[in-house]
Structure 1
Amino acid sequence: MQVSSRHIDTWLTLQSNLGRAPNTIAAYSFALRDYQQFCSDQNTCVDIASREQVSQYVRNLLNRRVSKSKGISSSLFANATIRQRITVVRLFYDYLIEEGLRTTNPVRRGNQFNNRNRRDIRAIVPIQHKMPWIPNEEEWQRLLAEAQGMSLRNRLMLTLAYDGGLRREELCLLNTKDIDPSHRLLHIRAETTKAKRDRIVPYSASTGQLLLDYLRYRRRLTSARGAIFISESSRNIGMPITFWAWSKVIRSLGNAAGLPRFSTHTLRHLCLTDLARSGWDLHEIATFAGHRNTSTTLIYIHLSGRELATKLAVASSVHGLRLEDISESLQ
C-alpha cells in the first residue's frame, strides 16, 4: 500500500503543479483515497488492480449510500459523482502507464469508435442526461419569504448570484476592483471561472442599490479592499467568505423553505432559464454564462420549453384550422 500512496501523492502534486484548481485537487485526492481504500479491503494493490477490481469498485459505488453526518441517507450516489470517481481513477492509471509502471489501463474509455465498423464503445458508466432542478413560482416565493430574514450580505449574494448567473466560486471571489458601479457591470475574472475566460456581466438597478448599502456596511467591518463578501463572525471578521460558508447558508435557506434540492447552482440555472424564456438568443445566453460550448447552453433552452411551446402553438393552429375545415365539409 505504501507504493500506491507514493504514486498517488506524486500524481496529485503533478496536477497541482500544472495549475489545477484547489477544489479539483481535493476532488482527485478524495476519489483516489476512496479507491485505494476499496482496493485495500479487497487485498489488492492499486498499482496492479485489474478490470475485475475496477468493475467491483463500480458496483460498490452504484450500491453505496450517501453518507451524512447524522447517519446514512436513503439516496444513492449520483451518476455524475460515480463518473467523476471513475474518471479520476482512469487518469491516474494513464499516469502510471506514462511512467512505465503499467502497460494497460483497467478503466476503458467510452464514446470511442471501432475503426472497422464504427460502433460506439459504451462508457463504463453511461451518462444520464438529467435536466437541472429549478423552483416553480410557488417554491420561489417560499424561498424569497425565508430570505427576507437573512443578513444584508446574504441577501445581496443571493440577488447577485441570480442577477449575474454566477457560479459559487465566481460569486465568493468577487473583488472590490471587479465592480464598475457607473455602468452597473461586474468583471468576472478568468481565474475564478470554470472555462478560465474573462467575461463582463451587468446587474440591475435594484441589485446596485443593495450593493451600495452593503458596501457602506462593509466599511464598518473593514477598510481593506479585496474580497467583497467577508465574514461577519467575531472569530474571522473581515476575512473573505469561504465557498463552504456560502454553501451552508444556501443549504439552510433551502431546508427552511422545505426545498432541500436548492443549491448554490440553482440560482444560475434559474437565471439562464429565465433568459431563455425571455427570448434571448442561444449565443447571447452562452456569452452571458461564459459557456465554451453552446451545447451546454441548450439545456436552458430546453428547460424553458420555449421552442416546444412555439411549435405547439403553431401545431395547435394548424390542427384547429383542419378541424374547422372538416366541420364545414361534413355538416
Structure 2
Amino acid sequence: MSQAKTLTERELRRVLDYCALTRHAARNRVMVLLTFYAGLRVSEVAALKYSNVVAPDNTIKSEFRLTAEQTKGGHARTVFISEKLRKELAAYVKTLKRHEQELLPLFRTQKRDGFTANTLCQHFHLLYRRAGVVGASSHSGRRTFITNLAAKGVGVRVLAALAGHRNPATTMVYIDASDDMKRAAVQLI
C-alpha cells in the first residue's frame, strides 16, 4: 500500500476553496483543517465531541484530551491546538445550534448522526477528488502535518508525541523528504 500524498499549500487551498462551495462548508473546512493543523486521524475527527474542543465558558480549548476509545492505538493523548485552528473551530462552533451540544458529536452528517470513521474517510476522498487533488487520501492531512513540522526542524520525538505514535520509527515513515528539504539540508554544511 502506498503512502498518502503530502499536499502542497496550493493543493490545500484548492480543497478549502472547494469546501467553501459545499452545503456544509464550515463543517467540511474545519474537519479538513483538523487533519492538516493538528495531525488528527480521520477516525479521531469522527470521534470528536463538542465537549472535547469547547470549554465550559464556550471558548475553544488550546488543548484537549482524546480518550483511549477515541484513538487508533487505544491510548489516550493530548491534542494541542494552534491559534489559527482555534479561530477556525470557533467560527464553526458559531454555526451550531446550542441545544445539548456537549452530548453530541462535533461533526454530524445531513441525517444529524455523527460520522463513522469509514463514512468520514469516504467523505474526504470525495472532497479531494472533487477539488481535483489527485492521489490524496483521508491520511494526507496527517502526513502533511508531520512532514511540514519536520521541515521546520521539529524533532522526531515531539512529532511522535503530537501524532500519538508510541514509537518514533512509525513517525519517520510519515515524513516526506521533498527536494526543497534536501536542498536546504545541503546548504547547512
* TM-score, with structure 1 as normaliser: 0.49
Q: Which structure is larger by alpha-carbon Rg, 1 or 2?
A: 1
The whole-number CA distance in structure 2 between the counterparts of 1:249 and 1:188 is 22
Is 1:291 the equivalent of 2:165? yes
Which position in structure 2 is the counterpart of 1:246? Answer: 120
The whole-number CA distance in structure 1 between the counterparts of 2:95 and 2:12 is 27
Preserved CA contact (<8 Å) 1:134 1:266? yes
Which position in structure 2 is the counterpart of 1:266? Answer: 140
Which position in structure 2 is the counterpart of 1:147? Answer: 19
Letter of the structure 2 residue corresponding to residue 270 of structure 1: T
Q: CA deviation at 1:264?
A: 1.2
* TM-score, with structure 2 as normaliser: 0.81
Deviations 1:140-177 (A, max 9, x none): 33223222223211111111221110101111001123
Which position in structure 2 is the counterpart of 1:126? Answer: none
Is 1:213 the equivalent of 2:91? yes
Match of 1:197 among 70, 75, 82: 75
Preserved CA contact (<8 Å) 1:185 1:202? yes
| Larger relative contact order (CA 8 Å, sep ≥ 6) | 2
Q: CA deviation at 1:251?
A: 1.9
Preserved CA contact (<8 Å) 2:4 2:136? no
User: What is the correspondence of 1:101-112 to structure 2 with a 5 Å cutoff?
Assistant: none
Q: Please give the secondary structure, in 2, of the residue aligned with 1:274.
A: helix
Identity across matched positions, percent: 26
Instruction: Pick the structure with more helix per residue.
Output: 1
Letter of the structure 1 residue corresponding to residue 49 of structure 2: N
Q: CA RMSD in A?
A: 2.5
The whole-number CA distance in structure 2 between the counterparts of 1:207 and 1:176 is 15
Q: CA deviation at 1:185?
A: 1.2
Structure 2 residues not aligned, in runs of 5+:
none
Q: CA deviation at 1:290?
A: 0.6
Deviations 1:116-145 (A, max 9, x none): xxxxxxxxxxxxxx5542123443332232
The whole-number CA distance in structure 2 between the counterparts of 1:294 and 1:145 is 34
User: What is the correspondence of 1:33-48 to structure 2 with a 5 Å cutoff?
Assistant: none
